[in-house]
Amino acid sequence: MLGIRLNVLPLLLAALVWASAYLRAADTLPERISDSAFWTLVEDISEPGGTFESDNWISNETGVQTVIPRLKQLTRPEGVYLGVGPEQNFTFIATMRPKIAFIIDIRRQNTVEHLTYKALFEMSATRADFVSRLFSRGRPAGLTERSSAAELFRAYSSAPPDDEAFRNNLQAVKQLLLGTHKFALTAEDAQNIERVLTVFRTFGLAVNYNSGGSSQVAAGLPSYAELMTATDSDGRENSYLATEENYRIVRDLQRRNLIVPVTGDFGGPKAIRAVGKYVKDHNATVTAFYVSNVETYLFRVSSGRLDASTNGGAKNFYDNVAALPLDSSSTFIRSWNGVFGPMPPGGMPYTVLSSMPEMLTAMKDGRIETFRDVISISK
């Protein structure tokens, strides 16, 4: 009997050592960020705003949801999510349920759009209320928490714009951001809040990537309604507006100041590295980085060299990514649309995944020189 007890002792000690190591490894990400700390984070991480060739009001990627079943298998929840662009990030956030998210985009306008979204989320307890405010439409009768995304957008499809609702929404958004949260937005930022809400009021559920813009982009761009009612590879709706549960996941993070919009260049010297330092300082890991098709711009070469792109270049971007805390499950999510790289099979845009550590190794080994090389090792 004594021998059995003595044999148990090493096991207990090993368990204590393992538990101690686990506790030391646990992240220290905040459950909530104060308004002042949130704004300091936005300003300290951000770089000066740059330009882009289109307004990019919403995603133009119809394949965003197709990878969600596989994304759930490859990644783990409660990590750190990084992304770029507008609303498609909310769908990935609802899927992955990170503890904190950073949205990094070269356009200051994208930061302002996300702050506008933040206010609308905070003011809207339900999906139906959110859609009403986003598009400045009266809420149709008959919508419930069980309504599908298709039912939700079908109900709003015939709702006319409401100018009084628009004015009230605009005033409420500015009051919440400037008055309640006391974010130090510039006069130009305030004007751009109105611009964002004006575009969504004017074009309604048909708003697309470049509504009202002058850039030359491909025809047949998907509308907001089409993106929100799309399905994954298993035929299920997974957008952030597909269910009340999805919506609440995003809303909860917004209310706790845990979706942080950042103005930054992927090939720039500061934004991604500053996010990486924040994540490291909190002993956390980047679980996914949605990069859209930004790499197609980073691989544009002006003098025959990989790092000679006008916005910093692909090499700089991957050097920045290498500064992020990663693990074997950390995943790139990217769009492949054939505009600046090889056309996907069938000529249709879709979304692909790849291991972030494996991509960094390929870059280091010299196996990546073009965006075609990136796609060749994505799945």
Q: Lowest-pLDDT range, 15-24, 242-251, 338-347?
A: 15-24
Domain chopping of the chain, boundaries: 31-132+226-376
Residue 342 has a pLDDT of 52
How many alpha carbons lie under 13 Å from residue 207 in its C-beta half-sphere?
25
Q: For the residues 6-20, what does the mean pLDDT come to?
A: 47
Q: For the residues 334-349, what does the mean pLDDT come to?
A: 57
Buried b (16+ CB within 10 A) or exposed e, 343-362: ebeeeebbbbbbbbbebbeb
Strand 286-292, strand 80-83: pairing = parallel
Residue 287 has a pLDDT of 97
Question: Angle at Cα 308 formed by Cα 302 and Cα 313, nearest 5°?
Answer: 115
Residue 154 is inside which H or E element, if any?
Answer: helix 149-156
Q: For the residues 7-35, what does the mean pLDDT come to?
A: 63
Q: What percent of the chain has pLDDT over 90?
A: 67
Residue 18 has a pLDDT of 41
User: Residue 202 above 50 pLDDT?
Assistant: yes
pTM comes to 0.88
Q: What percent of the chain has pLDDT over 70?
A: 85
pLDDT tens across 207-237, in order? 998 887 655 555 578 899 999 999 887 888 8
Higher pLDDT, 49 or 42: 42
Residue 198 has a pLDDT of 96
Q: What is the domain class of 31-132+226-376 according to CATH?
A: alpha beta
**Confidence label for 17 from pLDDT (cuts 50, 70 and 90):** very low
Residue 356 has a pLDDT of 96
Look at residues 59, 99, 95 and name the one whose alpha carbon lies nearest to residue 79.
99
User: Residue 310 above 70 pLDDT?
Assistant: no
The torsion angles phi and psi of 334, rounded to 5 degrees, stand at: -135, 155
User: Residue 114 above 50 pLDDT?
Assistant: yes
User: Residue 305 above 70 pLDDT?
Assistant: no
pLDDT tens across 46-94, in order? 999 877 777 889 998 888 888 899 999 999 899 999 999 999 999 999 9
Contacts within 8 Å (CB) and 24+ apart, 281-285: 282/27, 282/28, 282/29, 282/30, 283/25, 283/26, 283/27, 283/28, 284/27, 284/28, 284/29, 284/79, 284/80, 284/99, 284/100, 284/325, 285/27, 285/79, 285/80, 285/325, 285/326, 285/327, 285/330
The torsion angles phi and psi of 80, rounded to 5 degrees, stand at: -120, 130
**Confidence label for 338 from pLDDT (cuts 50, 70 and 90):** low
The torsion angles phi and psi of 103, rounded to 5 degrees, stand at: -110, 110
Quote the CA–CA distance of 358 and 282 in Å, as a whole number: 24
pLDDT tens across 255-297, in order? 999 999 999 999 999 999 999 999 999 999 999 999 998 888 8
Residue 131 is inside which H or E element, if any?
Answer: helix 127-135
Q: Lowest-pLDDT range, 106-120, 160-174, 355-369?
A: 355-369
Quote the CA–CA distance of 100 and 83 in Å, as a whole number: 11
Strand 286-292, strand 259-263: pairing = unpaired
Q: At what angle do helices 356-364 and 313-322 cross, to 10 degrees?
A: 130
Average pLDDT value over all residues in the chain: 87
